[in-house]
Structure 1
Amino acid sequence: MLLCRTSAVSQSIARWGSTARRRGAVLHPALSFNYRSCQSVSSTEGETQPVDAGSSQGQYRDSVLLPCTDFPIKLTGQKLLDRELEIQRMCGFAELYSWQRERKAKKEFCLHDGPPYANGDPHVGHALNKILKDIRNRFEMLRGRQVHYVPGWDCHGMPIELKALGELGPSSLSALQIRQKARQFAERAIARQKAAFQRWGVMADWDKCYYTFDGAYEAAQLKVFQEMHSKGLIYQDYKPVFWSPSSRTALAEAELEYNPEHVSRAIYTTFPLDALPAKLASEGVSVLVWTTQPWTIPANQAVCYMPNAQYSVLKRADSGQLLLVATERAAGLAALLGTELESKGTFTGSELEGGICRHPTIPGKEVPLLPANHVTMGKGTGLVHTAPAHGMEDFSVASHFKLSVECIVDEEGRFTELAGPELANLHAMDEGTEKVICMLKESGALVREEPCVHSYPYDWRTKKPVIIRPSKQWFINTASLKDKAKEVLQKVRVMPESARGGLLSMLDRRTYWCISRQRSWGVPIPVFYHKDTGEALINKHTVSHISTLFKEKGSDCWWELPLESLLPPEVLKKVNIHVAADYVRGEDVLDIWFDSGASWAAVLEEPEPRADMYVEGKDQIGGWFQSSLLTSVAVRNKAPYKSLVVHGFAVSEKGEKMSKSLGNVVDPQVVINGGTVDTKKDPTTPAYGADALRWWVAESNVFSEVQIGPTALRSARDSINKLRNTLKFLLGNLQGFDPRTHAVDPKEMQYLDQYMLHLLRGYSIKVTDAYSEFDAGRAIRVLQAFINRDLSSFYFSIIKDRLYCEPEGSLGRRSCQTVLEEVLDGLTRSIAPILPHLAEEVYLHAPGHDEGETLFRSGWVKSSSVWRRPGLEEAVEGACAIRDSFLSSIPGKNAAQYDLTVAIEPGLLFELMESLQEEPTATCSQLTELMMSARTTLTSSLPRDLPADTLLASGSFLINLEGGVIREDSAFSIAAVPTSAARCPRCRRYTSDTPDCLCPRCQSVLSVAA
C-alpha cells in the first residue's frame, strides 16, 4: 500500500479536491433523521423530518445514535446576560490574571495599558481599545506566556478639574478644595469605567490598577522629571506658547485639534516706508502685508522678507498708490484688488536690507525690514507681518535680531494696557479685532478685508480657538531628543506600517514641549522661587526630597505641608541655602502628557521596563506614543515599547463621527444589556451580550475607522449563533464519549478521519499566525472558512451515517468521535481570545474534563505533527477529485441513489483508492463513504455494457510526492447508475435487498446489540 511505502511528507496539488469540499450535495438519506427522542439537537445540514413511531422506520428509532446535548443553540435576552455573568463567576474570570501571574512560564508578554481619561462614562471607543488588548492578552496567556497587563487611568488635568468645578457652580475654592473635588469626580468615573471593562470580560487584576494620582506613581514621575532636568533637558523660559483663553492655561501641541472650517477676518494692510533702501528711488512706497490675525498688528515689531526672492514696486492703476510686494504675487494681487499693477522696478529681497517702515496704528513707531527663511510665496504678499510675542517663527526672528517681545493680551485673551487705551480690555479675537480693523481704516492703511476659511488650532477640551502668547513656562528641549527618538523608532515594529510616517513627522514638527500648566489638579512642578529675585530653586536634592514626600503622602502635601517640611534643613544644607522662608512654592502643575508619558517608569517591571506592545488609537501618534518615547529616550536612550499597534476610531455605520446631536451614539452598555438608544429609527436595541461586542471588535478592520451600529451588531450576533450551531452538533455527537478512555490512535483511524486531523492542524497553524500578527479579523475568517468548507460542507456531511448508524463502540464510530473531540477542542480554544464566555460555556459541556477545570487554565490549541502522514493527503484529495466529478454529474440529485463505478488505470492514484477500498465493490467502504453513494466499484476500466441511463464523467488528479520526486497526473473515469437496491428503513441508505428490510450492515448492528 502506498500509505506504508511513502517516507517523505507529501506535498500534493489537487486539481479538483479543493473545489470538491466546497460543493454542496443532496445529503445522504440517513442524515435527515431527527427522532423525537433527540429533538434537542438538529442537524447542521439540510432540513429534518420527524419519523412516525408506527412506521417501519420509526420502529428502529431507538437504535440510531442521534446527537443529544443540553447546550442551547441560541441564548437571547436576560438568559444570555445571566449566562455570561454565571460563566464569569463559575470560571473564575476575576482570578484568572492573578493565577497566570503566579504560574511558572518561560516567557513574559507585556502589553502596557495606555491610561484612558477618567472624565466620563465608558464609551464604544473604550470597548474597541480594551477588547483589542484583551484578545491579545488572552491569546498570549493560552500559549503559556505570563502576561503583564496593568490597567490604568489618567486622572489629572483641566477637563476633570473643570467638570468637578462645574458641578459646584461659581465658587471660590482653595487649590486643595479643587483637588479634592477633582479627585472625587475622577474616582467616580474610574468606578464606572472599571465595572464596564470587567463586564466586557477584560482580564486583569482589577484591585491592582495604576492611577496617575497615586503617590507612588507621582514619585516615579518626578524621578523621570529629575533625571531629565539634571541632563539639562528641562528648562524655564519666556516664549510664545499655545494658550487657551477659554481654559486660561498653556497647551502643548498634543492638546490641540485643528478646525478646518475656522473663519478669520484676513486683511491686507500697508506699512509706509520711511527709510528707503538704496535701490528704491521712488517716494511714497508702502510695504503690503497680509495676515489672518489682525489683532496682532499692534504687537508688530518688524516686516520680514525672503532674501533670495524677487520683489517689485507696483503702481495701482486706480489710485496711483505704490506697493512693495513679491514679484511672484503680483498677478494674483492685481486680480484680488481689481486693478492693474504696473511694475516700477524689480530687485532681490536682500536689497531691502536697511529699510524702515512706519507702524500703521502706533504713531512714531518704526518697524525694520528683516530677512527670514520662514517667508513663503504660496499666499499673501511675500512680506510677513511679524509680532514676536504672538508667533513661533516671529519669536525666532526676534531672538536673532534682539527685538522686543511684548505680550499685549492677558490670560483671558483680552488686550492689556500695552495695546493702548483704545484696545485695553477688549477680547482680542472678537471686538478687539473689529477695533484694530477700524484703526487701520482710519489711518488709511487698510487695503482689503476678506473672510478666510482655514485650519486653525482649538483647545481640544473646550472646543474654542487658542491664541499664541508668551509666558514664563517650563519646557522640554525636544529638539535635542528628536534625532535619537527617530533612531530608536526605526527599531520599533509599527502596525500598520503606514503610521510610522505620522510618528516621525510629529517628532520633526516639535522643537520644544511646554510641560507647565496653570491649574490646581495635577502633579505640581517641584520648583521654588525666591521671593525677591524670582530665581528658581530646583535640583536633584530638592526634587528627590519632594519625590519621597509624594510617595509617602501624595502630591496634596505640596499644598498641605509648611514650607519648612518641603525644604527641610538637611536639604537646605545640600543646596547651600539658609532660610526656607525666602522662597515660595511654585503653582504650576505638569502637563498630563508628561503624567502619562512617564507611565513606563511607574508601571513596567525592572530591570528592563520595556513593553512588548503599546496599543492605542491613532490620536496617540502625537500624544501618549510620543510622550512615552521622548521621556524614555531622554532617560534611557531607548524606546519603552518593542511594537506599536495604532487602531482607528469607532464611527457610526455611515462612517460619521458619533454625536448626540446626530443621534448616532452607540453605548456599549446598551449593546450588551439592551434598552433605549439615542435614535428615532431604532428606539430600542436587543441585548447582544459581551461576546457580540467582542466579536464586532475582532471582526473589524481596526487599522481604519471602525463602524458600529445595528447592522454590524446583528451580523455579530448571527455569526455567533451559527458558530453555536456547529459547536452544538459537535457536542451532541460526543455524548457518551470520553477521550481519556475512548480515543482512537491516529494510526488506527479511517483515512478520512486522519485527513480531518491533518486539516485541523493546518487550521491551528493559520489561526495562531493570525493572532500572532494582531489580526483577529483574519482569525475569524480562517475559523469561518474551516467550519463552512472543511466541516459543514465536507466532513459533517460524510460522517453522519457512521455516527448515527454504526455500533456505539465500533472502531469506525470512535475514530470519528475522536476527531470530533479534537475539532471541538481546537475550535473552542481558537475562539477563546475573542469569545471567552462562549468558549468556557462549551468547555463546561465538553467531555474529558474534571469538574472545576476551565479552558483558560488549560492552554492553547493542541495539534500534532503525526497527524500529517505521508500519502494521506493524496489519498483523500484524490477521492475528493473523483467525488467532485461524481456530484457534478448528478446536479440536484441524491448521491445515495446511485451506484458508482470508478475506473483508474493501474498506477499511484489506483493504489491510493485501493487504500480506501480493498474489495473491488463495496457498500460500506471508506471510498463509498466519501462518495456518499449506494455502492462504489473500483476498476481499471469502465464496463462496456453500461445501462442507457448511465451518467458518465472524467477527470484527472495530479499527485506530487516527496517534493516532486514522484509526480503523476492520473486520469479517471466514472459511471453513475441509479441503484436497484432498496432503502433500508433504519439507516435509509439504498443498500437493502428488498423494501422494508434492513441492509446487511444494520442487520449486523442490531444482532450484536441484541
Structure 2
Amino acid sequence: MRWGLLPRGPGAAALARNLYGLPRFPCRLVWRGTTWRLLVRSVTGTSHQLPNPNSGKYRDTVLLPQTNFPMKLPGRQQPDKELEIQQKCGFSELYSWQRERKAKTEFCLHDGPPYANGDVHVGHALNKILKDIANRYHMMRGSKVHFVPGWDCHGLPIEIKVLSELGGKAQNCSAMEIRGKARAFAKAAIEKQKSAFVRWGIMADWNNCYYTFDEKYEAQQLRIFYEMHEKGLVHRSYKPVFWSPSSRTALAEAELEYNPEHVSRSIYVKFPILKPPPVLASLIDDSSPVSVLVWTTQPWTIPANQAICFMQEAKYAVVKCATSDDIYILAADKVTAVASALETKFEVISTFLGADLENSTCTHPVYPDRVSPLLPASHVTMTKGTGLVHTAPAHGMEDYSVASQHNLSMECLVNEDGVFTDVAGPELQNKAVLEEGTDTVIKMLQATKNLLKEEELVHSYPYDWRTKKPVVIRASKQWFVNIMDIKPTAKELLKKVKFIPGSALNAMVEMIDRRPYWCISRQRVWGVPIPVFHHKTKDEFLINSQTIEHIIKLVEQHGSDIWWTLPPEQLLPSEVLSQVGGPDALEYVPGQDILDIWFDSGTSWAHVLPGTDPRADLYLEGKDQLGGWFQSSLLTSVATRKRAPYKAVVVHGFTLGEKGEKMSKSLGNVINPDVVINGGQDQSNEPPYGADVLRWWVAESNVFTEVTIGPSALNAARDDIHKLRNTLRFLLGNVSGFNPKTDCVPAADMYVIDQYMLHLLQDFANKTTEAYKQYDFGKVVRLLQAFYARELSSFYFSIIKDRLYCENEHDPKRRSCQTALAEILDVVVRSFAPILPHLAEEVFQHLPYADEPKSVFRTGWMNISSIWKKPGLEEAVESACAMRDSFLGSIPGKNAAEYQVVIVIEPGLLFEIMEMLQAEETSSTSQLNELLMASQTTLLSQEPIEITADAIELTGTFLINLEGGDIREESSYKVIVMPSTKEKCPRCWKYTAESSDTLCPRCAEVVGGK
C-alpha cells in the first residue's frame, strides 16, 4: 500500500503509523490535496539565524553556550583522555566498591574462561565488552555484581605451542619440563590478555581472578570427577573416539573444525554373498556371482570391517550389471544413481524388503577367510551410497553400537600415530592410514577384484582445530561420562533457562541429542590427571574415597604437579598402600591420562560461583560454546546436583571481516584491538580510535548473528560518537550558570514544550531500560541515536536556542528550558554509560554545577519521575507541530523568522489547546510562536479582516483523541503565512524590531535590565 492510497479522515494518520511503524515523533503525516505526505520534523530547509557571537555591539549580552567539553578528540587525544579518565574516575576500584556497598539484589555473570594461549583478538573484545555492558547496567540499577574473570590454562593449545618452541628437544623433555614451560607460557599470555581487558574498561577485581591451573580449582574439579564416578556416571571403556594423529590424543567434538575442502578417495566395493537370504535362492545360480554393494569415503577402514548394515523397512533390489553380468544387491532407491556412478546399466531382476536380508553373510573383500554378516541398523540412510553400510566397529560411533548389540569384534588396527599396527598384516603394517595405508587397501581390493570404482570426493571432514590436520575415528581405552543417564534431566532443565536468541535452545538440545557419550580423557601431560591407579599386569584400576581424598589434599596444597613429582607410594594413603603390596611391591602405577579441558572449564561453576547452591544469573559466550562450555557446565552440574548452573544464556556470533569473510593473516584482514585503540604504525591508515569506539561497535552490532568489523565500521562508530558528543556539548554548554538545587522550575510550571520533552524522555528511558534487560544493546544504541538526532538535535534544540541565548539569564522561561536540559543530560549520559564508560565519566567531569564530580557509575541508573508522563501534552504539541509543518513546508529554504503566521481555528477543543500555548491574540514570545520559529504568531477563531496579497493560505485538519478515545474531535485549521512587517533585531536577529538599528521589545527589556 502507498501512503497516497490511504483514506483521508479521522484516524487516518494513526492508521498509517500502525501500518508503517512510523515514530510518533518527530515525523508527521500531512494531507496534501490528494495524498498523505511524511514530514520529518526538523529545521532542514529553514535558515533560522542566531546572533553571531563575534559581531555586533550586543554580542556580550547574548548567553551563548559555555563549556570546555571538546566536540572531538583528534589523534592521540582520545586514547590519552581515556587513560586519564580511568585513573581519575577510579575504574580499577569500581568493582570492589560495588561489592562492599549494601544492595538488596545480586547479579552474577559467570565468565567463561578464554584460553591462555596468545594475544587477544576482536573475538575477545566482542565477548568481554558485552559482559561488561551487562555488568555495568546491573550495577547502576543497584545490584551487587558478582563477576570473576577466569582463564582456561591447560590443554593442547598451550602444550603444542611449548613443544613447537622446544623443537627437536621436545622428545627428550620430561613431563615436568613440559608442564613447567606450559605454565610459564600460560602465565605470560594471561598477563597480556588481562592488561588488554583492563584497557577496554572491563570492570572486575583483576587481582582476584580464577585460573584452571590454580591448586584449589584443580582440587574442586577432582571432587566433581569422583562424585560423578561414585554415581556410576564415569567409567573406563574401549570405544571409538575422535583421534588426532598429529596431537596423539583423543579429542572432544568441540575441539574439531570441519574442513569443507577435504579430499577423500571414495570407493565402491563389492562384498561377495556367502550365505544368501532365502528370498534369493530361486533367483541365483552358481554361474552368476552375487555381491552386495557398499560405498565408503574411508577405504582404510575396510580391513576392520565386521558387518554390513541395512534398513529393515527399505526396499532392496537384485540387479544384473550390463557390462559384467555380475549380480548385485543394493537399495531399490539407489539403483539409478549407483549405475550412473559406475558408468553402466542395471537390470532390476527382483525387489524385496530389507528384513529379508537378515541372517545372510558375505565374504570379506580383502580377507576371504573372514565373514561379514548382514545386520539391521537404525543409522542406515538413503541419502548417500548404496543403502548398505560398511561397518567397522573400531572406527565409527554408530558402528560401535551395532557391534555392542551383536557381539562383534572391536579390535582396532590403528595406533596413536594413525598408522596400521602389525595386527593389520605385513602389507599394511607401519603405513599411515590417511596416506599410503589408503593406497595399499585400494590395491588389495583391486587384487581381489572387489573394487568397482575409485574417485576423489571433496567434502566436509573433521580436523584437529589446533594442528589443522585431519583426524580419524579409532577405538581406544578412555574415560567416558555416560551422558545417556543425564540427557533427559539436562534437556528438561534447559527448558527453564532463558536463551537469547531463543533459537539457541533448540540448537543446544539437538547437539546434546546427537552426542552418544563424552570422552573426558586425554593422552597429554599439561592438565589435571585422572586420579586412578592401574594394575601393572591386570586390566584393573584403583580409585575409592580414601585414594581420592588423599590426592585432593595433596593437590590443594601443592597443585597437580604432585602426580608427576611424587613417587607412587606417596600418592596413595597409608591404609590403602598396605593393601596393594606396600611401598616395595606396589601392584599399581598412576594412570597417564589427563582430564579433557572441557571438563576443566565445565566444573568452574563449583569453584567460582557464590553460595552453597551456586547458580549464575547469566552465561554469555559465542555460539561455539553451545557444544562446548555451555554444555560441559550443564552436564557436570546436572550430574552432581540435578540443576542447571545458569538461569539465562546469551549467545553471540563470531567476528568476521568487513565483507563477511573469515579473518586470517593471509587475507590481511585481522583486526588487532590494540591497533584499534592506539593506532597502527601508519596512523593515516590505522588511526587511534580509543576503547569507546570498540565498545560502540560491539554494542551497535547485531551480535546474535555474525559480526563484521573493518575500517568502515570503525569510522562509522567514531562518527556516531562525534555526533553524540556534539549533542552532549550543546547540553553542557547550555546548563552553564544553572544550579539544579536553586534554579529548577517545578514540572507543572515549565513551558509546555519542555514538559513534552520530559514526557518523551521518560518514554526513552523506559524503552532503553527494557532493551538492557533483554541484553539487546543494539536496540539501546538505536533508541539513543533516534532520541538525540530527532527529538533533540533536529527538533528541540532548534526551537529553544532563542529562549536560551536571548532571554534574561534568570528568566523563568529560560530556567524552565535549563531544567529540562539538565534532566535530559543526566538521563542520556546514564543511558549510554554502560556502553561508553569513558565518555560518560568525561561528561560528568564537565558538569558545571558539580562541586566535586562524582562517578556516573556510583550514582545509580536513570532517574525519571512519574509526573513527567503527560499523554495529553502530545495533542497540544503535535497539533501545533502540524501547523508548524504546514508553515515551514510553504517556505522551503527560507528563514522562518522573516515571516509572521496567522492561525485560524474554529472554536472548540483544538482552539482551547492552542490557547494553552498562546494566551494573547498576537505574540512574538509565546510558546506557540517559539514552536513555529516565526517572527510573530496570531491566533484567531475566525478569518482575519485583511490579509496581504502575497500571503500563503494553507488548510488542514487535526484529530484530537484523548483519554483512550473517550474524547475525540476533528478540527480544521488554516495557516496564513505573510512576510513580516518588522525589521531584523540586531541582537536576536528575529524580525520583530521597529527599525534595523533598534532592539525588539523583548531584547530591549533584557538589555535594559542589565
**Which TM-score bucket, shorter chain as reference?**
over 0.9
- Residue number in structure 1 paired with 2:65: 67
Amino acid at match of 2:911: F
1:252-307 per-residue CA deviation (whole Å, 9 max, x = no partner) reads 12211222222111111222223333333422322222211111111122222333
- Residue 159 of structure 1 deviates from its aligned partner by 1.2
- Residue 635 of structure 1 deviates from its aligned partner by 1.3
User: Does residue 523 of the first structure (1) align with residue 528 of the second (2)?
Assistant: yes
Q: How is 1:319-468 mapped onto 2 (pairs within 5 angstroms)?
A: 319-468=324-473
- Residue number in structure 2 paired with 1:776: 777
Amino acid at match of 1:832: A
User: Does residue 25 of the first structure (1) align with residue 23 of the second (2)?
Assistant: no
Normalised by the length of structure 2, the TM-score is 0.94
- Residue number in structure 2 paired with 1:190: 190
- Residue 958 of structure 1 deviates from its aligned partner by 2.0
- Residue 503 of structure 1 deviates from its aligned partner by 0.5
Aligned residue among 146, 149, 156 for 2:147: 149
| Residues 771 and 236 (structure 1), Cα distance of their counterparts in 2 relative to 1, 3 Å cut | same
My pick for the range that moved more, 350-359 or 535-544, is: 350-359
1:565-623 per-residue CA deviation (whole Å, 9 max, x = no partner) reads 321125558x9986682221111110011111111111111123111111111111111
- Residue number in structure 1 paired with 2:85: 87
Query: Is the CA contact 2:334–2:386 (under 8 Å) kept in the aligned structure 1?
Result: yes
- Residue number in structure 1 paired with 2:217: 217
Query: Is the CA contact 2:52–2:59 (under 8 Å) kept in the aligned structure 1?
Result: no
- Residue number in structure 2 paired with 1:77: 75
- 2:382 and 2:670 map into 1 onto residues whose CA distance is 44
- Residue 460 of structure 1 deviates from its aligned partner by 1.5
- Residue number in structure 2 paired with 1:906: 907
1:127-146 per-residue CA deviation (whole Å, 9 max, x = no partner) reads 11111111111111111111
Q: Secondary structure at the match of 2:616?
A: coil
My pick for the range that moved more, 191-200 or 347-356, is: 347-356
Q: How is 1:887-906 mapped onto 2 (pairs within 5 angstroms)?
A: 887-906=888-907
- Residue 751 of structure 1 deviates from its aligned partner by 1.5
1:676-727 per-residue CA deviation (whole Å, 9 max, x = no partner) reads 48xxxx9831001100011111111111111100100000011111111111
User: Does residue 715 of the first structure (1) align with residue 716 of the second (2)?
Assistant: yes
Q: How is 1:783-862 mapped onto 2 (pairs within 5 angstroms)?
A: 783-862=784-863
Q: Give unmatched runs, 5+ long, in structure 1.
A: 1-11, 37-50, 52-57
- Residue number in structure 2 paired with 1:227: 227
Amino acid at match of 1:109: F
Amino acid at match of 1:972: Y
- Residue number in structure 1 paired with 2:742: 741
- 2:733 and 2:846 map into 1 onto residues whose CA distance is 10
Q: Secondary structure at the match of 1:581?
A: coil
Amino acid at match of 2:213: F
- 1:372 and 1:166 map into 2 onto residues whose CA distance is 44
- 1:277 and 1:267 map into 2 onto residues whose CA distance is 25
- 1:28 and 1:413 map into 2 onto residues whose CA distance is 77
Query: Is the CA contact 1:30–1:801 (under 8 Å) kept in the aligned structure 2?
Result: no
Query: Is the CA contact 1:414–1:424 (under 8 Å) kept in the aligned structure 2?
Result: yes
- 1:762 and 1:975 map into 2 onto residues whose CA distance is 34
My pick for the range that moved more, 845-854 or 513-522, is: 845-854
| Residues 421 and 26 (structure 1), Cα distance of their counterparts in 2 relative to 1, 3 Å cut | closer
Query: Is the CA contact 1:358–1:364 (under 8 Å) kept in the aligned structure 2?
Result: yes
- Residue number in structure 1 paired with 2:276: 276
Aligned residue among 545, 548, 555 for 2:553: 548
Amino acid at match of 2:41: R
| Residues 899 and 604 (structure 1), Cα distance of their counterparts in 2 relative to 1, 3 Å cut | same
Q: How is 1:750-769 mapped onto 2 (pairs within 5 angstroms)?
A: 750-769=751-770
- Residue number in structure 2 paired with 1:257: 257
My pick for the range that moved more, 341-350 or 541-550, is: 341-350
Query: Is the CA contact 1:34–1:66 (under 8 Å) kept in the aligned structure 2?
Result: no
1:455-475 per-residue CA deviation (whole Å, 9 max, x = no partner) reads 221112111111111111000
- Residue 959 of structure 1 deviates from its aligned partner by 1.9
- Residue 840 of structure 1 deviates from its aligned partner by 0.3
- Residue number in structure 2 paired with 1:42: none
RMSD of Structure 2 on Structure 1 (CA): 2.0
1:517-549 per-residue CA deviation (whole Å, 9 max, x = no partner) reads 000001111111122323111123322332222
- 1:346 and 1:898 map into 2 onto residues whose CA distance is 93
Amino acid at match of 1:25: V
Q: Give unmatched runs, 5+ long, in structure 2.
A: 1-12, 18-23, 29-38
Amino acid at match of 2:939: L
- Residue number in structure 1 paired with 2:948: 947
| Residues 817 and 736 (structure 1), Cα distance of their counterparts in 2 relative to 1, 3 Å cut | same
- 2:745 and 2:572 map into 1 onto residues whose CA distance is 77
- Residue 122 of structure 1 deviates from its aligned partner by 0.3
Amino acid at match of 1:420: G
Q: Secondary structure at the match of 2:168?
A: coil
Aligned residue among 81, 96, 99 for 2:97: 99
- Residue number in structure 1 paired with 2:5: none
- 2:440 and 2:926 map into 1 onto residues whose CA distance is 98
- Residue number in structure 1 paired with 2:9: none
Q: Secondary structure at the match of 2:76?
A: helix
- Residue number in structure 1 paired with 2:33: none
- Residue 447 of structure 1 deviates from its aligned partner by 1.2
Q: Secondary structure at the match of 1:59?
A: coil
Percent identical pairs in the alignment equals 61
| Residues 312 and 926 (structure 1), Cα distance of their counterparts in 2 relative to 1, 3 Å cut | closer
Query: Is the CA contact 1:19–1:884 (under 8 Å) kept in the aligned structure 2?
Result: no
Q: Secondary structure at the match of 1:675?
A: coil
| Residues 87 and 275 (structure 1), Cα distance of their counterparts in 2 relative to 1, 3 Å cut | same
- Residue 345 of structure 1 deviates from its aligned partner by 4.0
Aligned residue among 121, 124, 144 for 1:123: 121
- 1:570 and 1:996 map into 2 onto residues whose CA distance is 109
- 1:266 and 1:115 map into 2 onto residues whose CA distance is 41
- Residue number in structure 2 paired with 1:9: none
- 1:991 and 1:683 map into 2 onto residues whose CA distance is 50
- 1:538 and 1:797 map into 2 onto residues whose CA distance is 78
- 1:366 and 1:927 map into 2 onto residues whose CA distance is 98
Query: Is the CA contact 1:17–1:884 (under 8 Å) kept in the aligned structure 2?
Result: no
Q: Secondary structure at the match of 1:303?
A: strand
Amino acid at match of 2:993: S
Q: Secondary structure at the match of 1:615?
A: strand
My pick for the range that moved more, 876-885 or 74-83, is: 876-885
- Residue number in structure 2 paired with 1:54: none
- Residue 1001 of structure 1 deviates from its aligned partner by 1.0
1:823-867 per-residue CA deviation (whole Å, 9 max, x = no partner) reads 111111111111110110010001332325111111111110112
Q: How is 1:567-716 mapped onto 2 (pairs within 5 angstroms)?
A: 567-570=572-575, 581-676=586-681, 684-716=685-717
- Residue number in structure 1 paired with 2:111: 113
- Residue number in structure 2 paired with 1:44: none
Q: How is 1:961-976 mapped onto 2 (pairs within 5 angstroms)?
A: 961-976=962-977
My pick for the range that moved more, 766-775 or 658-667, is: 766-775
- Residue number in structure 2 paired with 1:564: 569
- Residue number in structure 2 paired with 1:289: 294
- 2:448 and 2:757 map into 1 onto residues whose CA distance is 90
- 1:647 and 1:596 map into 2 onto residues whose CA distance is 19
Q: Secondary structure at the match of 1:126?
A: helix
Query: Is the CA contact 2:523–2:594 (under 8 Å) kept in the aligned structure 1?
Result: yes
My pick for the range that moved more, 393-402 or 322-331, is: 322-331
Amino acid at match of 1:924: T
Q: Secondary structure at the match of 1:117?
A: coil
Aligned residue among 472, 484, 491 for 2:477: 472
Amino acid at match of 1:608: D
Query: Is the CA contact 2:89–2:841 (under 8 Å) kept in the aligned structure 1?
Result: yes
- Residue 917 of structure 1 deviates from its aligned partner by 1.5
Amino acid at match of 1:385: H
1:904-934 per-residue CA deviation (whole Å, 9 max, x = no partner) reads 1222221121122211111111111111111
1:766-812 per-residue CA deviation (whole Å, 9 max, x = no partner) reads 21111111111111111111112111121111111111111111111
Query: Is the CA contact 2:903–2:973 (under 8 Å) kept in the aligned structure 1?
Result: yes
Amino acid at match of 1:208: N
Amino acid at match of 1:746: A
- Residue number in structure 1 paired with 2:21: none
Amino acid at match of 2:252: A
